[in-house]
Amino acid sequence: MFRRQFMQLVALSSVGALSPIETIAAAGPRATLVLQVKGFTCPTCAVGLDSLLGKERGIVSSHSTYPESKVTVVFDPKESSEESICKLIAEMGFTVVSSHRA
């Protein structure tokens, strides 16, 4: 639902109904989390992890890279947390080695 609301705001800004600043503010706060993950065995692991994370409430986007075993997650801190994201990744069979906010 968040993505749909954001796209509607972008559409309004493109027709001049909202300024770019109002569009960003209306989209809500976001936090970015960069995780080093252990357990990727192939590029499909990264794609699968992104797919599953993208379905979770509060996660705006996820980008995983197989060679670096790194996952960057943009989320709404009102709906999700670093702990819940790390727990979800662990439930998928991966181990979060380190994390930091970007």
Q: Which sequence spans correspond to the domains of the chain?
A: 29-101
Give the CATH number of domain 29-101; options: 3.30.1370.160, 1.20.1260.10, 3.30.70.100, 3.40.50.300: 3.30.70.100
pTM of the model: 0.71
Q: Per-residue pLDDT tens for 35-89?
A: 999 999 999 999 999 999 999 999 999 999 999 999 999 999 999 999 999 999 9
**Cα distance between the two ends of the chain:** 25
The rounded distance, in Å, linking the Cα atoms of 62 and 17 is 29
Is residue 6 pLDDT above 90, yes or no? no
Helix, strand, coil fractions of the chain, as percent rounded to 5? 40, 25, 30
